[in-house]
Amino acid sequence: MKKKIFFVLYLLVGLMFINSGLNKFFNYIPIPEDLPEKVVAMNTAMEEIGWLLPLVAIVEILGGLLFIIPRFRPLGAIIIFPIMIGILLTHITVAPSGLPMAIILLLINLWAIIENKEKFLALIKK
């Protein structure tokens, strides 16, 4: 039962990242009109760096896909981790209303990393 619950959580997180990445390419989710001014300024700055948003989108899509597949979940969790830190810092500094969701996503990501720690320890052993 626990395995199924975690798979559903991992599936939802993976799909959220895939959706977010695809939205950066296709802009199918409408932008809320009541965004804080700092968020708009930050998004504008990121858009001005022509390669940044496509890179983030590709990382989100790839990480989300890998996060869903149990065999590749550790790799997906590590790929998504820097994006999660950026999301968390954004919500801490300029958009605190999304902070609870960012913390939940970070905790799920950290759980996937901790759950597979033996795979990561093998990378740093002598």
Residues 6+ apart with CB under 8 A from 90: 39, 42, 102
Contact 76, 65 (CB under 8 A): yes
Q: pTM for this structure?
A: 0.91
61 phi and psi angles, rounded to 5 deg: -65, -50
- What CA–CA distance (Å, rounded) separates 106 from 126? 30
- Please answer whether residues 65 and 14 qualify as being in contact, where contact means their C-beta atoms are separated by less than 8 angstroms: yes
pLDDT in tens, the chain (126 residues): 888 999 999 999 999 999 999 999 999 999 888 888 888 899 899 999 999 999 999 999 999 999 999 999 999 999 999 999 999 999 999 989 899 999 999 999 999 999 999 988 888 887
